[in-house]
């Protein structure tokens, strides 16, 4: 059994055309730059793990554009929705990348969960999603598991973002604890690098492929940090090795005076 290697890219906020701008950054350009950086930094053959907010506002054209970029670049990818996405629209337009909630890669299991809800930006697991999580964990019995979701189940010490963390996260935690082999949780949404613990489970939140939020802020604020991504190595012994890369040579800089989107 060999090491499983993944590249997480999150919060792309693509538009239906290549000129979509978020906080002063052209999101298509920043996403392509992240793809290229991951390739030059030795992660080009990794499976891409796209953890939500793939579109800026659930436009069908944004998902078609993403499908084309991934296909043109010969990428293997799995995805899950965020609060700016619409699941059925994603399914209909990411035609070459069907939703795969449970994967077995080598000796590892990967569980992809939908933490989005239709009525706001915060995280929540529906009863149906909790049932799917339980079934997925049963399917992965005996394997070390990586869980991916959009929202964070833990606080990141930023007042406005912490109001949006998953509101019923303890229900999922009880399942993960019962499984006994969940080694880490990977999230997006917070547009920043943040490593923490959910009781005894490591939680790794990752920077966006476009703009970053200011850490430890009380209200919405953008940081001048550049786009980034996370690489993940899942080893035979059940250990997780991971790190974050920022694109220091990316020439576009966000508008730190932006007050929301």
Q: Residue 95 forms beta bridges with which residues?
A: none
- Per-residue pLDDT for 87 more than 90? yes
C-alpha span between 121 and 123 (Å, rounded): 7
The single residue listed with the structure tokens 């489970």 is: 201
Is residue 222's pLDDT more than 90? yes
How far is residue 123 CA from its own chain's centroid? 13
pLDDT digits (tens, 9 = 90+) for 150-192: 999 999 999 999 999 999 999 999 999 999 999 999 999 999 9
Token digits for 250? 């990316």
Q: Using 50, 70 and 90 to split pLDDT, how confident is the model at 230?
A: very high
Q: Is the pLDDT of residue 195 over 60?
A: yes
- Percentage of the chain modeled with pLDDT above 90: 95
Query: Which pLDDT tens digit goes with each residue over 242-257?
Result: 999 999 999 998 888 7
Residue 171 structure tokens: 């229900």
Q: Please name which of 80, 63, 49, 88 lies closest in space to residue 13, comparing C-alpha atoms.
A: 63
Tell me the three state secondary structure of residue 128: helix
More confident call, 245 vs 120 = 245
At 179 the three-state DSSP class reads helix
Confidence of residue 97 (pLDDT cuts 50, 70, 90): very high
CA-based nearest residue to 194, from 210, 205, 185: 205
Cα atoms in the 13 Å half-sphere on the side-chain side of 170 = 0
**CATH number, domain 4-246:** 3.60.21.10
CA distance 50 to 194: 17
Write the pLDDT tens digit of every residue in 31-67.
999 999 999 999 999 999 999 999 999 999 999 999 9
| CA pair distance 215, 254, nearest whole angstrom | 15
3-class state of residue 196 by DSSP: strand
Is the CB of residue 194 less than 8 Å from the CB of residue 155? no
What span, in angstroms and rounded, lies between the C-alpha atoms of 209 and 66?
13
Cα–Cα dist 207/187, whole Å: 10
Q: Residue 258 — pLDDT band, cuts 50, 70, 90?
A: confident
pLDDT tens-digit readout, 202-212? 999 999 999 99
Q: Indicate left, alpha or beta for 24 from its phi (over 0: left) and psi (-120 to 50: alpha).
A: left
Q: What is the pLDDT of residue 1?
A: 57
Residue 260's pLDDT is: 78
Q: The tokens of 253 are what?
A: 């800089």
Q: Average pLDDT, stretch 122-144?
A: 97
pLDDT at residue 28 greater than cutoff 70: yes
Structure-block tokens of residue 141: 């019995």
CA count, 13 A, side-chain hemisphere, 133:
25
Candidates 7, 25, 3; CA nearest to 15 is 25
Q: Where are the domains of the chain?
A: 4-246
pLDDT of 261 higher than 90: no
Rounded distance between C-alpha atoms, residue 253 and residue 127, angstroms: 41
pTM, to two decimals:
0.97
pLDDT of 236 reads 95
Enter the tokens of residue 93.
Answer: 């337009």
Give the closest residue to 13 by CA, choosing from 35, 30, 1.
Answer: 30
Average pLDDT, integer, range 66-76: 97
């Amino acid at each position: 059994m060999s090491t499983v290697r993944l590249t997480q890219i999150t919060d792309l906020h693509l538009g239906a055309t290549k000129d979509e701008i978020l906080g002063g950054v052209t999101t298509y350009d920043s996403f392509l730059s992240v793809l290229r950086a991951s390739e030059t930094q030795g992660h080009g053959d990794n499976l891409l793990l796209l953890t939500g907010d793939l579109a800026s506002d659930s436009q069908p054209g944004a998902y078609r554009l993403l499908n084309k970029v991934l296909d043109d670049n010969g990428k293997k990818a799995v995805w899950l929705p965020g609060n700016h996405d619409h699941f059925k629209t994603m399914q209909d337009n990411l035609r070459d990348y069907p939703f795969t909630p449970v994967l077995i890669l080598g000796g590892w299991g990967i569980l992809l969960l939908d933490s989005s809800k239709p009525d706001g930006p915060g995280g929540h697991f529906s009863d149906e999603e909790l049932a799917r999580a339980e079934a997925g964990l049963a399917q992965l019995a005996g394997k070390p598991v990586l869980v991916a979701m959009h929202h964070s189940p833990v606080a990141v010490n930023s007042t406005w973002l912490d109001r949006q963390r998953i509101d019923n996260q303890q229900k999922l935690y009880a399942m993960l604890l019962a499984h006994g082999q969940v080694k880490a949780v990977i999230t997006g949404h917070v547009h920043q690098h943040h490593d923490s613990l959910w009781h005894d489970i490591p939680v790794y939140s990752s920077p966006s492929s476009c703009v970053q939020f200011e850490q430890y802020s009380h209200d919405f604020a953008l940081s001048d940090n550049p786009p980034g991504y996370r690489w993940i190595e899942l080893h035979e012994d059940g250990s997780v090795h991971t790190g974050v890369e920022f694109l220091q040579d990316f020439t576009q800089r966000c508008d730190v005076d932006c007050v929301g989107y």
